[in-house]
Structure 1
Amino acid sequence: MPEGHVIHRLARELNAGFTAGPLEVSSPQGRFSAEAALLDGARIARAEAVGKHLFVDFDTPHPEHIVYIHLGLIGQLKFEPAAEQAGQIRLRISDGVHAAHLRGPQWCRLITDEEYAAIRAKSGEDPIREDADPDALWPRVHRSRRSIGSQLMDQKLFAGVGNIYRAETLFRLGISPFLPGTQLQRNEFDSIWADLVGLMAEGVESGRIDTVRPEHTPEAMAREPRKDDHGGEVYVYRRAGLPCYVCGAPVSHRVMEGRNLFWCPVCQG
């Protein structure tokens, strides 16, 4: 499932390329045809990312004017030439030359301002957003007995943080993923938040997740670059059994609440 930086990149590209004028909005697949017809000929007023949620607000007087998208595990929103229409396209937004094609999303709904507000109210704090409030988040994290590794994956707390950022941030800071929130210190929480802000903002710019420090890059360590569908250089994610770049101990792995967790038992002991 894409992590939050991917959704912010999509919103940025929609705002950069599809807000200038009227748009052709359709559903070649047919599953969003009625909703698309209400938006056809309108322009995008604003695209916005909140965690893993993408909202595309169309400038139309219809009460339902916001397309709410959650990509889920297999969904993709790709920017392609308008002439290319391969595959099952749920939603097509085109200026006649370029198009945004949505395929296989978990959700694609047309919602009202009130429904948008309700979804926002349930979302956690997004490290990439300027309006995020870590001071409001800290008490919720600290009073919980749940591990910080579990809480970091809770979208009602840390919006947009996924498995990779969870594992990598905790490793970089030497914090055990099993540490209960009640035992987490405020300075540790602040370090986690600051690290997420920096890593995720960098991910928006680069389009990939790189978490290793300069001294641990392939060039600095004279090692082969990482080969993985997710791309990017990381410390522990999907490196179970391989030596830690810092201490040499084998990276550990276990399933936590249905998701794979990776950590170094020495560096994060």
Structure 2
Amino acid sequence: MPEGHEIHRFALRQAEAFAGKKVHVDSPNGGFPDAGVLDGRKLLEVRALGKHLGYHFGKDLTVHVHLGQFGDFWEGQQPMPEPKGALRFRMWTRTDWLELRGPTNCRIFSDQEWTALEQRIGPDPLVDGTDPAAMFALVRSKKTPIGVLLMDQKVVSGIGNIYRAEFLYRARIHPDRPGRDVSLLELKGVWKDAVTLMRDGMDDRRMVTTRAKHRPHPRGVALDEEVHYVYRRQGKPCRVCGTEIESKAMAGRTVYWCPTCQKD
């Protein structure tokens, strides 16, 4: 499932191609029955919020998209290819086209539904000026492990499995530690990492979470095998202390940690 930085990158790129222009919309596989309502309208704005995208066409006309585990976009410039496969949603202008396949959700939201979504999900580190106070308070009120809470989109938006493992490692927090036992200072560090590293991931199109001094090749761009501290490194030595990285199932995914750097 794409993490929040990828969703924001989609929004920026698609806004550049389509926002402020009249667009054509259809649904070759029939999975988006309201395509005709939008065809020929001007797309006003593309919004990203956590792992959600919104294509705003006017009052009570926002196409909500959640890619889920299998959804993905295909994009390009004209000429547009012939529709193939389970093509749910297609949008195009004279110059650009976009195809969406396999999303968990793709339907029109009313303004009320979009507002309810904004109120339901947690703070998004990639939205400028976001106040993380609600996240801090919620985490510190819970017995739930912090490794579970960081994957809960009602707590914080956009963090997925890779960033969960890496943020906790960088903060030296064991994923099993109850949220109420995570200090405010530690949470501020996690939030700061999220703002910085997810923004870098959006700009660079790479999820690099290691510090240069902890890489075998500290100069220049990180190699692909150097970009993470613990994610998918179970059984390998910690980059800092040499202890074998461990893993287990948590919140429906696999979490990774160093038992020395992140003592329980």
Q: TM-score range by the shorter chain?
A: over 0.9
Contact 1:44 1:58 in 2 (8 A): yes
Give the aligned partner of residue 165 of structure 1.
163
Structure 1 partner of 2:76: 80
* Partners of 1:135 and 1:69 in 2: CA distance: 27
Question: 1: CA distance between counterparts of 2:115 and 2:261?
Answer: 41
For the pair 1:212 / 2:210, whether they are aligned, the reply is yes
> What stretches of structure 2 of length at least 5 have no aligned partner?
none
Match of 1:16 in 2: 16
Using a 3 Å threshold, how does the CA distance of structure 1 residues 35 and 2 change in structure 2: closer, same or farther?
same
Structure 2: which amino acid aligns with 1:251?
I
CA shift, 1:79, in A, is 1.4
- 8 Å Cα contact 2:23/2:40 also seen in 1: yes
Alpha-carbon separation, structure 1, partners of 2:98 and 2:168: 35
Q: How many residues align?
A: 260
User: Is 1:237 aligned to residue 231 of structure 2?
Assistant: yes
Q: Does residue 37 in structure 1 map to residue 31 in structure 2?
A: no
Query: Whole-Å Cα distance in 1 between the matches of residues 204 and 157 of structure 2?
Result: 20
Q: Which secondary structure does the structure 1 equivalent of 2:218 belong to? A: helix
2:146 maps to 148
2:65 is aligned, of 69, 73, 85, to 69
1:37-56 alignment, distance < 5 Å? 37-56=36-55
1:122 CA drift (Å): 0.8
- Give percent identity, aligned residues only: 39
Aligned counterparts of 1:218 and 1:87: Cα–Cα separation in 2: 44
Runs of 4 or more consecutive aligned structure 1 residues displaced over 6 Å after TM superposition? none
Q: Could you tell me which of 97, 107, 110 is aligned with 2:108?
A: 110
CA contact (8 A) 2:6 2:202 kept: yes
Query: Please, what is the CA RMSD of the aligned residues?
Result: 1.8
Alpha-carbon distance in 2 for matches of 1:187, 1:151 = 17
SS at match of 1:176: coil
**Is residue 122–residue 134 contact of structure 2 (8 Å, CA) maintained in 1?**
no
Deviation at 1:77, TM superposition (A): 1.6
Written as runs of structure 1 = structure 2, the 5 A alignment for 1:178-189 is: 178-189=176-187
Structure 1, unpaired ranges of 5+: none
CA distance in 2, matches of 1:193, 1:173: 10
Q: For residues 253 and 42 of structure 1, what CA distance do their matches in structure 2 show? A: 49
Q: Give SS of 1:196's match.
A: helix
For residue 6 of structure 2, give the secondary structure of its aligned residue in structure 1. helix
Query: d(CA) in 2 for partners of 1:20 and 1:66?
Result: 14
| Aligned-partner residue type, residue 181 of structure 2 | Q
Instruction: Please state if 1:266 is matched with 2:236.
Output: no
Q: Give the Cα–Cα distance (whole angstroms) in 2 for the partners of residues 202 and 123 of structure 1.
A: 23
Cα drift, residue 218 of structure 1: 4.8
Amino acid at match of 2:24: E
CA drift at 1:174: 1.1
Is this contact kept in 2: 1:24–1:96, CA < 8 A? no
In structure 1, distance between residues paired with 2:13 and 2:130: 22
2: distance between equivalents of 1:46 and 1:244?
44
Q: After TM superposition, give the deviation of residue 137 of structure 1 in Å.
A: 2.0
Tell me how far 1:176 sits from its aligned partner. 1.3
SS in 2 for 1:109: strand
Query: What is the CA deviation profile of residues 151-198 of structure 1, one whole-angstrom value per residue up to 9, with x for unaligned ones?
Result: 111100011111111100111121111111111111111111101111
**SS of residue in 1 equivalent to 2:231:** coil
Q: Hey, what's the Cα distance between the residues in 2 that align with 1:88 and 1:96?
A: 23
